[in-house]
Structures are given as C-alpha cells and as structure tokens.
C-alpha cells in the first residue's frame, strides 16, 4: 500500500502496536538522542539513577552550546559534569564553540530515515533531510537512552504542498511565518507536517531547516521534507554522501489533511509581539524605531542566511541607534563565511559577531532595552523570552533583519538593494563545507568508560523524584493563568536562571518569576496545590523544569483548557496530573486560592474523568485525562523514573 514519508519512517521504527491509528499510542525505537547544556543535567542525573552501563541507542550526543557565559561557577560546573557523564556513558560531546545543537546534529550525524529524539523543542530541524526528529523532555531522553521504545500519540500526517518559487529577497522564513499566520500556535497539535511538491524541490536543506525547526511554533509533533537531490547535495557537501538514501512519499499515498502554499505569492513577513503567529507583512506593519537586531540562531543561522544578510548590509552601515549582533550556527559555517569574505562584510557594516552558540535567543546576553523593539531571526518572541518582559520582539528573515539594521525600522531587502535584490539568489549553500570535527569528543570504549569519574561541582543537586498521587486530594488553587502560558513563563530563561537548572531547590524559587513573582513562595507555603490554566498551557520550549519546579513546590495537578504536547509529557514524567476541563466554561468559575477537593482520585483517574469539588464556590466540575494506559501507569507509580526502573527490573527478571 502506498505510504507517505512520515508513516514509512514511523513504521520502520514501530515496536508496538502493529497498526498506527491517529490519536492512539505507538511505541518507537529510537536511533539517536540529542541533549543540550541548559536542559541536560536532569537527563543524565536520571540516566545515572537508572543504573545502565552505557547508552543503548546508536548515537547519543550532548551539546554544550546554549549558555557559554560563565557568569559564576554554576555553568562551568554543569559543563564539566556533562562532559564527564557523557564520557562515562558512551555519549559524544560537542564542545563549546562547535555550534548550535540542531545545526551540528543535522550536519554531522543526521541521515535520511533515522528517528531521533532531542531534549529540545526545535529538534524537528533534522526533518529537513528526511529524518523523523521529535522534541521531548529530558526524562524522555534518559528513557530513550535505555533502548526502551518511546511512546508517542500517533499524529495526523498533513501534506503541505509547496508550489512556485520564493521571490528574490524572500526566505524560507516567509513559508513558516505564513504557516503560523494561517494555522496559529495551536494549529499543529497532534500533527506532522510533511512538505512536498515542486516548490519543496526548489528549497535547499538550509531553507528547509528554517521551516522544520520553526514548525515547533505551530505546536506540531514534527515536520519533514523528503530526502531528495537537495539532501544528497547537502550530505555530499558534508562528506557523507554514503549515508544518503533517497526517501519520499509513495506515488498516490494518502494524508490526513492538505495545505497549499504558492511560494511565488509570498512576500517578506514579520511576526509581531508576543506570539510567533501574530504575523503580517513588513509592508503593512506599523513602522517603529528598532533598537536591536539579531541575525542567526538555529532557525536562520545557515551559510546562506548569513551570507545573504551580509550582502544586504554590504556598502551600508548599521544605523547608529541599532545594536546589531550575529550568532552563526556552527563552526564549519563560520569558516566558510570567513573564506568567502562575508564575515568581513558583516564587520565592516558594524555587526558584532557573537559566540557560535544560542546566546541571545534564550536570553543569554543581548537583552533588549526597556520597552526596546528588537528584530530577530530566531523562532520565538514570547514576552520575556529575550530577557526583558518590557521588550517588543519581532521575528523576520535574515535578509529583512539586515535591512532593518540599516534603516533602523522595519524594512525589506528590496528597499535596500532595489533591483539588485535578485543578486541574493546567486548565494547558495557551498558544494563542500570545511569539515572539522575536532570539537566533537567521541565516546570511549566500554572498558575505558567504566574508569571515568563523574565530576559533580556544587551546582549539581540531586534529581527530585515525585510521590505517587494520593487517593484523597484536598488543596488550594495556587495559580490561575491566562491562555498560551509558555514554559518560559513557568521557568524563565537567561544566563542567570539557566545556570540554576541543575539545582532544583534553587531554581524552583524562581518558578513563574516573571509572570507571578509571589507564586513560588505561595505554592511552597501551601505544601500541595493545583494550577488552573487556559488554552495551550505549556507551549514553547521543551524544558522539563517547567514541570520539575512546580512538582518540587508541591503542585499535584494542572487543570487547563488545552495543553501543549511536550509539556503534557513532562508533567506525566514528573508525576503532575495533566487534566483538561470537560467544559471550558468552568475555567471562569474558579478563582485563585479556591479550596479544591478530589475524592477517590486514583480510582477516578483510571476512568480518565475526575470530578473536582470547589468548596469555596460550592460547585463541582469535571476534568478529562487524555492519557494512554502507560502514561496513566507512569503517574500512578510516581513519575517516569520510578516507572522505568520497574519496567527494566521486570525485563531483567524475564
Ligand atoms: Fe538555541 Fe534558540 Fe535554537 S536557544 S537551539 S538558537 S531556539
């Protein structure tokens, strides 16, 4: 039977059941795992507790790429721990300076048909080369590393048929911003977007990564392109053509839905504060004075992106009121740009080159000024994501960002270059990248690895493990939130906060710090509590600290109108019960600090429907539990770590 590309790859990795039905749980064998420094300590602490001798997937890679500002001892403590624990368990390390995880992973480890899980929501970046790449929480990565098949709710597969060709001055960013404009940040929940058609064939891998990476902002499980001639070219340029295999949808295959986008009709777009789906055209957006521009990041930090931005800037200078920085996504790209003269163009134009790292994208440096307008080529513009909740962040392509840097307001490459904008089309990805893997530390042999001592500085605190839910829960509402709460709202990012993530007792004091600074103290004082959330609760970054910190503060359940996939998985893993209002109108009837009561909780959970009494208001309401059998079991036994240990013990006993 003719199959689409996504089903082919999922089928090839299916452990159980034999059928893949959208909405039903499937379990998948994983080929590769990826972690990065600001989320990974919890992953490896969990893996240590599991007690295996070595990672059991083909390739596990630990990236030291997000926080390279060593403000004090905490981040170097983390990096030294991560490097030593990787050596102990057979994991590659990508050292600081090698580049941003997704860019390096696709270039040096990715291959068509593989299935990868990453502890970062932008893991789908690798879908650009016909891989199935899924972002999950850190505990899921520890689980994947045991070789136990990973559970996933089978998504719907949506075909995105691309026709036409991008116009000069336009970037693949226009495609993903158009997807967000049409489908919103919730539109991709429970879906895989599979890009095909003649327009897709015109896009190089560097273009495709922008689309698959930022597909995370749609809430999608992942996004994928076929492994075609463009992928062969990329793999050849990486010196890995032997790992290329053509892979695409079968002729006449079916999909669960279809979207059409004509690339020729797109024009430069801009996502306005504070959501990536708040999209309009640069032509129509209200002109504002721009204070800061950031070019690069994992979404748009490719050779082609940076070179085209440099061409827009050539012969111009960054506006005197603009601070313009550039974060190139990998060392090999940097070296090629240097060789081809683009770095000089950037420097001559007054652009400041940053480390080859995430940096400002997750508020590690370069925060905008008070009420500052920042233009970025990254993927998220949530309030506070850039480190300053008063800032207004707009998302655009590198070509448009460079134009904004020159004029000091929202502009396009066409406005700067006029008819010469067609010259941008001459800039394509290199035929060969300067390969240099000296910053990648390969795994040790099994024997040598056993001799490695894991180094734990004072910032490495033990991993807290939740208790199983009690049968009779009586507690208050510690927080009632609005819609679209992000994991950045729950666990703020910045150089300072990110360096606390290995130390939950410390980090939990800053839970919801920017949204409600009194929350952490209140929740702690209550001892146990429930959070009431709106729509799309927990969207954004995969960081599991957004579940661990509330768990540590005694949060037992979150009742929301709807919930983002990765965050829901993280809540399950860390023993917080994710519940959905059966009637969303009940949200309005509950207030913060109401007294809630659930009798026979564990029994009711088994029915996937829980009645909650609000004793303050004298009302009752019901919540659904959208959980598979195994997810339910995980929560009932007190989180994924306890569950996994039990599973492995049972496997050993057989
Ligand atoms: Fe890094 Fe930002 Fe990408 S934090 S992985 S550059 S989304």
Q: How far apart are the first and last CA of the chain?
A: 37
| Residue 65 CB–ligand 1 contact under 6 Å | no
Q: How confident is the model at residue 588 (pLDDT cuts 50, 70, 90)?
A: very high
Residue 69 CA to ligand 1 center (angstroms) comes to 15
| Residue 104 CB–ligand 1 contact under 6 Å | no
Q: Which residues contact 402 (CB under 8 A, 6 or more apart)?
A: 293, 295, 308, 309, 310, 312, 313, 413, 416
Q: How confident is the model at residue 179 (pLDDT cuts 50, 70, 90)?
A: very high
DSSP of 62-107, one letter per residue?
Answer: EE--S-----SSHHHHHHHHHHHHHHHHT-EEE-TTSB-HHHHHHH
| Residue 488 CB–ligand 1 contact under 6 Å | no
Give strand ranges (E) for 519-618.
529-532, 555-560, 577-581, 595-598, 609-614
Give strand ranges (E) for 463-616.
473-480, 529-532, 555-560, 577-581, 595-598, 609-614
Q: Does the pTM of the predicted model rise above 0.85?
A: yes
| Residue 298 CB–ligand 1 contact under 6 Å | yes
Does residue 347 have a pLDDT over 80? yes
Closest ligand 1 atom to Cα of 362? 4
| Pocket test residue of 106, 125, 298 for ligand 1, highest count of atoms within 8 A of CB | 298
| Residue 327 CB–ligand 1 contact under 6 Å | no
Residue 148 CA to ligand 1 center (angstroms) comes to 28
pLDDT tens per residue across span 321-334: 999 999 999 999 99
- The tokens describing 453, both together, are 């001592």
Question: How much is the pLDDT for 648?
Answer: 83
Does residue 274 have a cis bond before it (omega within 30 degrees)?
A: yes
Contact 109, 61 (CB under 8 A): yes
| Pocket test residue of 128, 215, 326, 378 for ligand 1, highest count of atoms within 8 A of CB | 378
Does residue 651 have a pLDDT over 80? no
Mean pLDDT for the chain overall: 96
Does residue 68 have a pLDDT over 90? yes
Question: How much is the pLDDT for 549?
Answer: 97
| Residue 122 CB–ligand 1 contact under 6 Å | yes
Q: How confident is the model at residue 540 (pLDDT cuts 50, 70, 90)?
A: confident
Does residue 219 have a pLDDT over 90? yes
| Pocket test residue of 61, 100, 295 for ligand 1, highest count of atoms within 8 A of CB | 100
Does residue 233 have a pLDDT over 90? yes
| Residue 379 CB–ligand 1 contact under 6 Å | yes
pLDDT tens per residue across span 447-462: 999 999 999 999 899 9
| Residue 378 CB–ligand 1 contact under 6 Å | yes
Question: How much is the pLDDT for 493?
Answer: 80
Query: Going by CA atoms, what residue is nearest to atom 1 of ligand 1?
Result: 358
Residue 297 CA to ligand 1 center (angstroms) comes to 6
| Residue 358 CB–ligand 1 contact under 6 Å | yes
Question: How much is the pLDDT for 149?
Answer: 94
Beta strand pairing call for 577-581 and 555-560 = parallel
Query: Going by CA atoms, what residue is nearest to atom 3 of ligand 1?
Result: 298
Question: How much is the pLDDT for 395?
Answer: 98
Question: How much is the pLDDT for 542?
Answer: 81
Contact 223, 209 (CB under 8 A): no
Average pLDDT estimate for 624-636: 95
Contact 369, 391 (CB under 8 A): yes
pLDDT tens per residue across span 77-87: 999 999 999 99
- DSSP label of 250: P
Query: Going by CA atoms, what residue is nearest to atom 2 of ligand 1?
Result: 361
| Residue 34 CB–ligand 1 contact under 6 Å | no
Query: Among 487-496, 564-573, 596-605, where is mean pLDDT lowest?
Result: 487-496
CA torsion sign for 579, 583, 584, 586 is negative
| Residue 568 CB–ligand 1 contact under 6 Å | no
| Pocket test residue of 35, 119, 297, 566 for ligand 1, highest count of atoms within 8 A of CB | 297
- The tokens describing 180, both together, are 């967000």
Q: How far apart are CA 654 and CA 79, in angstroms?
A: 38
Which long-range contacts (C-beta less than 8 Å, at least 24 apart) are formed by 244-248?
Answer: 244/111, 244/112, 245/111, 245/112, 245/113, 246/112, 247/5, 247/8, 247/9, 247/112, 247/113, 247/130, 248/5, 248/130, 248/196
DSSP of 343-373, one letter per residue?
Answer: HHHHHHTTPEE--SS-GGGGTSS-PPPTT-E
Contact 502, 460 (CB under 8 A): yes
Does residue 372 have a pLDDT over 80? yes
Q: How confident is the model at residue 4 (pLDDT cuts 50, 70, 90)?
A: very high
Q: Which of 96, 143, 86, 94 is nearest to 454 (CA)?
A: 86
CA torsion sign for 132, 137, 139, 141 is positive
The more confidently predicted of residues 501 and 440 is 440
CA torsion sign for 467, 470, 473, 474 is negative
Does residue 654 have a pLDDT over 80? no
Q: How far apart are CA 155 and CA 190, in angstroms?
A: 5
Question: How much is the pLDDT for 270?
Answer: 98
Average pLDDT estimate for 291-299: 98
Contact 601, 99 (CB under 8 A): no
Q: How far apart are CA 138 and CA 143, in angstroms?
A: 9
Beta strand pairing call for 191-196 and 555-560 = unpaired
Residue 66 CA to ligand 1 center (angstroms) comes to 7
Sheet strands side by side (includes 150-153): 14-16, 25-28, 150-153
| Pocket test residue of 105, 216, 358 for ligand 1, highest count of atoms within 8 A of CB | 358
Average pLDDT estimate for 56-62: 98
Q: Which residues contact 242 (CB under 8 A, 6 or more apart)?
A: none
Does residue 652 have a pLDDT over 80? no
Question: How much is the pLDDT for 498?
Answer: 87
Residue 262 CA to ligand 1 center (angstroms) comes to 28
| Residue 540 CB–ligand 1 contact under 6 Å | no
Closest ligand 1 atom to Cα of 329? 6
pLDDT tens per residue across span 104-147: 999 999 999 999 999 999 999 999 999 999 999 999 999 999 99
Closest ligand 1 atom to Cα of 379? 7
Closest ligand 1 atom to Cα of 297? 6
Q: How far apart are CA 233 and CA 131, in angstroms?
A: 16
| Residue 484 CB–ligand 1 contact under 6 Å | no
Residue 285 CA to ligand 1 center (angstroms) comes to 26
| Size of the chain in residues | 654
| Pocket test residue of 35, 65, 66 for ligand 1, highest count of atoms within 8 A of CB | 66
* b/e map 238-259, b = 16+ CB within 10 Å: bebeeebeebbbeeebebeeeb
Residue 357 CA to ligand 1 center (angstroms) comes to 8
Q: How far apart are CA 590 and CA 621, in angstroms?
A: 10
- H/E element, 222: strand 222-224
Question: How much is the pLDDT for 37?
Answer: 96
Q: How confident is the model at residue 541 (pLDDT cuts 50, 70, 90)?
A: confident
- Counting beta carbons within 10 angstroms of the beta carbon of residue 638, is it exposed (0 to 12), middle (13 to 18) or buried (19 or more)? middle
| Residue 216 CB–ligand 1 contact under 6 Å | no
Q: Give percent above pLDDT 70 in the chain.
A: 100
Does residue 633 have a pLDDT over 90? yes
Question: How much is the pLDDT for 647?
Answer: 84
Q: How far apart are CA 127 and CA 632, in angstroms?
A: 30
CA torsion sign for 286, 287, 291, 293 is positive
| Residue 323 CB–ligand 1 contact under 6 Å | no
Q: Which residues contact 151 (CB under 8 A, 6 or more apart)?
A: 25, 26, 27, 628, 630, 631
DSSP of 155-220, one letter per residue?
Answer: PEEEEEEEES-PPTT--HHHHHHHHHHHHTTTTTBTEEEEEESHHHHT--HHHHHHHHHHGGGGTB
| Residue 217 CB–ligand 1 contact under 6 Å | no
* b/e map 538-573, b = 16+ CB within 10 Å: bbbbbbbbbbbbbbbbbbbbbbbbbbbbbbbbbbbb
Q: How confident is the model at residue 496 (pLDDT cuts 50, 70, 90)?
A: confident
| Residue 213 CB–ligand 1 contact under 6 Å | no
Query: Can you give 275-313 as a three-state secondary structure string?
Result: CCCCEEECCCCCCCCCCEEEEECCCCCCHHHHHHHHHHH
| Residue 136 CB–ligand 1 contact under 6 Å | no
Q: How confident is the model at residue 543 (pLDDT cuts 50, 70, 90)?
A: confident
Residue 343 CA to ligand 1 center (angstroms) comes to 21
Q: Which residues contact 649 (CB under 8 A, 6 or more apart)?
A: none
């Amino acid at each position: 039977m003719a199959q689409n590309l996504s089903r082919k790859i999922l089928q090839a990795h299916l452990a159980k059941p034999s059928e893949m039905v959208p909405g039903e749980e499937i379990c998948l064998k994983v080929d590769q795992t990826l972690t990065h420094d600001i989320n990974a300590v919890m992953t490896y602490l969990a893996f240590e507790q599991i007690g295996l001798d070595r990672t059991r997937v083909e390739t596990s890679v630990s990236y030291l790429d997000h926080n390279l500002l060593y403000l004090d001892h905490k981040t170097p403590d983390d990096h030294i721990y991560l490097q030593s624990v990787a050596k102990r368990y057979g994991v590659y390390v990508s050292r600081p300076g090698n580049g941003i995880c997704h860019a390096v992973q696709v270039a040096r480890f990715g291959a068509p048909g593989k299935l990868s899980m990453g502890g970062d929501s932008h893991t789908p970046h690798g879908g650009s080369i016909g891989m199935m790449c899924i972002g999950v929480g850190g505990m899921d990565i520890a689980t994947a590393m045991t070789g136990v098949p990973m559970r996933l709710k089978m998504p719907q597969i949506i075909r995105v048929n691309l026709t036409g060709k991008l116009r000069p001055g336009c970037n693949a960013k226009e495609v993903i911003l158009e997807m967000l404009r049409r489908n919103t940040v919730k539109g991709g929940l429970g879906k895989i977007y599979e890009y095909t058609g003649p327009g897709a064939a015109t896009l190089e891998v560097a273009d495709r990564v922008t689309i698959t990476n930022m597909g995370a902002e749609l809430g999608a499980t992942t996004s994928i392109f076929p492994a075609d001639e463009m992928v062969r070219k990329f793999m050849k340029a990486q010196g890995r053509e032997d790992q290329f295999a053509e892979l695409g949808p079968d002729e006449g295959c079916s999909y669960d839905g279809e979207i059409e986008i004509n690339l020729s009709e797109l024009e430069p777009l801009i996502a306005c504060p504070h959501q990536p789906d708040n999209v309009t055209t640069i032509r129509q957006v209200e002109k504002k004075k721009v204070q800061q521009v950031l070019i690069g990041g994992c979404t748009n930090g490719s050779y082609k992106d940076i070179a085209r931005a440099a061409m827009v800037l050539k012969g111009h200078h960054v506006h005197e009121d603009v601070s313009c920085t550039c974060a190139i996504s990998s060392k090999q790209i940097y070296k090629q740009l240097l060789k081809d003269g683009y770095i000089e163009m950037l420097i001559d134009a007054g652009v400041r080159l940053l480390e080859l790292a995430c940096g400002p994208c997750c508020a590690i440096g370069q925060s905008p000024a008070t009420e500052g307008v920042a233009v970025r080529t990254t993927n998220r513009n949530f309030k506070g994501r850039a480190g300053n909740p008063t800032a207004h962040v707009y998302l655009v392509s590198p070509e448009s960002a460079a134009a904004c840097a020159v004029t000091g307001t929202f502009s396009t490459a066409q406005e700067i270059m006029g008819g010469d904008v067609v010259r941008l089309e001459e800039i394509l990805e290199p035929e060969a990248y300067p390969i240099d893997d000296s910053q990648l530390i390969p795994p040790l042999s099994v024997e040598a690895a056993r001799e490695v001592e894991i180094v734990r500085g004072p910032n490495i605190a033990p991993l807290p493990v939740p208790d199983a839910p009690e049968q009779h829960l009586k507690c208050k509402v510690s927080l009632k939130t609005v819609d679209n709460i992000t994991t950045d709202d729950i666990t703020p990012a910045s150089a300072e906060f990110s360096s606390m993530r290995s130390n939950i007792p410390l980090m939990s004091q800053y839970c919801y710090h920017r949204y409600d600074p009194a929350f952490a103290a209140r929740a702690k004082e209550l001892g146990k509590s429930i959070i009431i959330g709106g729509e799309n609760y927990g969207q954004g970054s995969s960081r599991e600290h957004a579940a661990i910190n509330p768990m540590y503060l005694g949060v037992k359940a979150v009742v929301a109108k709807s919930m983002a996939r990765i965050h829901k998985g993280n809540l399950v893993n860390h023993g917080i019960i994710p519940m959905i209002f059966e009637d969303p109108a009940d949200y309005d009837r509950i207030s913060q600090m109401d007294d809630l009561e659930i009798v026979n909780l564990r029994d009711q959970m088994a029915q996937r429907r829980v009645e909650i009494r609000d004793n303050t208001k004298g009302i009752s309401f019901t919540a659904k539990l959208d959980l598979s059998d195994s997810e339910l079991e995980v929560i009932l036994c007190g989180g994924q770590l306890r569950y996994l240990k039990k599973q492995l013990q049972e496997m050993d006993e057989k």
